[in-house]
Structure 1
């Protein structure tokens, strides 16, 4: 199928970064709130799942129409070519959501879409009885927004943030997709030192290493659409071979992760080993105020504590002050910090060169960017 419409869903604020990733794969795209829309063949599906660092899922857009009654929803769902995507033995559960729409009961919408798809497939596969649903997973979503129903099929299975390397994590782990975005929003390149002084379970340094060696984030996991019979296994093999061919495993990297908690340092080391970076990322127990370096033109990316819980705020504010003092000595370094604390710049003691609104889960945060001096031209 040459022209399938795909939707790469993203967290709010990451759309432009995800769109750049899709364009870098060679596909034109449009950006809307929380999603990037592009067209392509089966190879596009494989590549997007394997390479998208900042998207949550890759979905196939099967249809979109206005529906203000259940009858409209049923008839227009039934009119869509489901048999092109869903095999006779496929498992096809329906999930849903509804925002500002007349059809606000999500369970009813799910039930009607399921019945309509069954009727369509019965006719296509000339079946009179129910479907066994013992085959590959084809999860359907009906999303209603202002009476417009969008029907999609999820090609990813587990969310794309599940890279497969996180064996353990701390209390408030950053999503791998957001961690990758934080790295991609910096001026870091693989020849510069990289430090995360609040590394937790190691997600940001591991994502930096994947980016630094051009390793696809999906190289170590499976996707729901790999079991779909209409996508030739040879296409997946070719896409995975591309991943292998483009990786730069010999690229030397200088990446460090520090944390105040020795238990988190151990977890980070285990996760890095699982990702294949045991000898590449240096983890150690340390506080940010104790940071010293003789290296120049490095990049520091951190997701420090925000002080959201009662009692934590004074401790966090003191840490931001100490951080500002310790890091002010390194004018060739660039510093990037994500926090929801609105007084961060004042506490840190310096106004950011630039800041960008991002969401860490449901928490509204700012990404404070302090750009260091540029290295002299060679």
Structure 2
């Protein structure tokens, strides 16, 4: 089967997580750069990567990469790529672009040149003068970085954070791909207790339950490449059937818990959990954080509390972080993971993190504070 080169784009800070996901899926020639993980596979890899990658933003098909320091060079090298091998004559192919530290810094001009080069290439291949662009969607991107142009086609369509279960909108939601990345970084195992005491609409508990039950995150949605002529319906059908068959039922109910003070959020969280197929595996409870307690000896807290940037006053957030320290510090056998943009979190919490990692949530630069607890004994 034909080999293709793919790029899984990522939020900054999650490249290592996506690399491990790609490796687990059995893909080859894995390379990591800022914001992306490249790999190769056959055509079925387009289906599997879209269905299974939990922390990636999109899966892009790489058509070519070359140096371009002037517009003539960009045009000629773009035109030389095998566009007609992928784009049928009725294809809709909008072009987006970005440029970082390159001679060709005018993004609109680069987009226009790439569009013209593709049209000229296809005119020669199909021997027609006009393209109606009324067929399947092939979103093209020209990305320039330090004078290297990378031309890709987006196989995903909507971003991969759109799993299909979030039907109801909430203010400042945590993106599903970030939640999945937080869980991967924690090394949580499905037989361990996991609590999110600021669960809001339930994204972290839902993503954990989907991971624990091995539910492919893309199983409930469609992708742009499902309508591509190069990828047969049978490949998508087979990939979905395999994903459906891989779902596990062994996850112990109610090991995953989500609490929050907002009762209205819980109706949304339960609705999303039900839509994701994990409602029976999560215990949601309306509870103010001041009442947080646990009698479990071991467990994980993975949470995205208020930052004081959008919805909650700064002074209130700082008092909350002090209370978090009072509640969590005595849990010295627990592993605690907190995502926040507040620069003084460790000081307010009262303890320096074992490790921290920069992540971006909704464009806000955050730190993921990780407090490691001991691994439970076999007994």
TM-score normalised by the chain length of structure 2: 0.96
What's 1:221 paired with?
Answer: 221
Give 1:97 shift.
1.1
What's 1:179 paired with?
Answer: 179
What's 2:144 paired with?
Answer: 144
What's 2:103 paired with?
Answer: 102
Kept in 1, the 8 Å contact 2:306–2:312? The answer is no
**Range 169-178 or range 324-333, more displaced:** 324-333
Q: Give the whole-Å Cα distance in 1 for the aligned partners of 2:227 and 2:239.
A: 15
Q: Give the whole-Å Cα distance in 1 for the aligned partners of 2:269 and 2:151.
A: 39
Q: Give the whole-Å Cα distance in 2 for the aligned partners of 1:133 and 1:312.
A: 49
Q: Give the whole-Å Cα distance in 2 for the aligned partners of 1:164 and 1:310.
A: 26
Q: Give the whole-Å Cα distance in 1 for the aligned partners of 2:218 and 2:311.
A: 38
What's 2:168 paired with?
Answer: 168
Q: Secondary structure at the match of 2:279?
A: coil
Kept in 2, the 8 Å contact 1:18–1:54? The answer is yes
**Range 176-185 or range 109-118, more displaced:** 109-118
For 1:138-287, what aligned pairs fall within 5 Å after superposition? 138-253=138-253, 254-287=255-288
Give a deviation string over 1:126-151, Cα, whole Å, max 9, x none.
Answer: 22x21121111101111111222111
Give a deviation string over 1:73-128, Cα, whole Å, max 9, x none.
Answer: 1111110000111112111111111222222222221111111111111211222x
In structure 2, do the counterparts of structure 1 residues 372 and 3 end up closer, same or farther at CA, with 3 Å as the change threshold?
Answer: same
What's 2:304 paired with?
Answer: 303
What's 1:376 paired with?
Answer: 377
Q: Give the whole-Å Cα distance in 1 for the aligned partners of 2:206 and 2:288.
A: 20
Q: Give the whole-Å Cα distance in 2 for the aligned partners of 1:356 and 1:68.
A: 35
Q: Give the whole-Å Cα distance in 2 for the aligned partners of 1:234 and 1:310.
A: 47
Give 1:311 shift.
7.6
For 1:60-75, what aligned pairs fall within 5 Å after superposition? 60-75=61-76
**Range 328-337 or range 19-28, more displaced:** 328-337
For 1:34-73, what aligned pairs fall within 5 Å after superposition? 34-73=35-74
For 1:345-360, what aligned pairs fall within 5 Å after superposition? 345-360=346-361
Give 1:309 shift.
5.3
Give 1:68 shift.
2.0
Q: Give the whole-Å Cα distance in 1 for the aligned partners of 2:311 and 2:250.
A: 47
Q: Secondary structure at the match of 1:279?
A: helix
Structure 2 unaligned residues grouped into runs of 5+: none
What's 1:11 paired with?
Answer: 11
Q: Give the whole-Å Cα distance in 1 for the aligned partners of 2:360 and 2:115.
A: 33
Q: Give the whole-Å Cα distance in 2 for the aligned partners of 1:52 and 1:81.
A: 27
Q: Give the whole-Å Cα distance in 2 for the aligned partners of 1:310 and 1:199.
A: 15
In structure 2, do the counterparts of structure 1 residues 309 and 153 end up closer, same or farther at CA, with 3 Å as the change threshold?
Answer: closer
Kept in 2, the 8 Å contact 1:173–1:201? The answer is yes
State the aligned residue count.
377
What's 1:333 paired with?
Answer: 334
In structure 2, do the counterparts of structure 1 residues 316 and 62 end up closer, same or farther at CA, with 3 Å as the change threshold?
Answer: same
- Structure 1's consecutive aligned runs of 4 or more residues displaced over 4 angstroms after TM superposition are none
Kept in 1, the 8 Å contact 2:63–2:152? The answer is yes
What's 1:290 paired with?
Answer: 291
What's 1:323 paired with?
Answer: 324
Q: Give the whole-Å Cα distance in 1 for the aligned partners of 2:92 and 2:160.
A: 20
In structure 2, do the counterparts of structure 1 residues 310 and 18 end up closer, same or farther at CA, with 3 Å as the change threshold?
Answer: closer
Q: Give the whole-Å Cα distance in 1 for the aligned partners of 2:157 and 2:102.
A: 27
What's 1:86 paired with?
Answer: 87
Give 1:250 shift.
4.0
Kept in 1, the 8 Å contact 2:251–2:281? The answer is no
Give a deviation string over 1:161-190, Cα, whole Å, max 9, x none.
Answer: 100111123221111100000111113111
Kept in 2, the 8 Å contact 1:305–1:339? The answer is yes
What's 2:363 paired with?
Answer: 362
Kept in 2, the 8 Å contact 1:169–1:200? The answer is no
Q: Secondary structure at the match of 1:185?
A: helix
Give 1:299 shift.
0.9
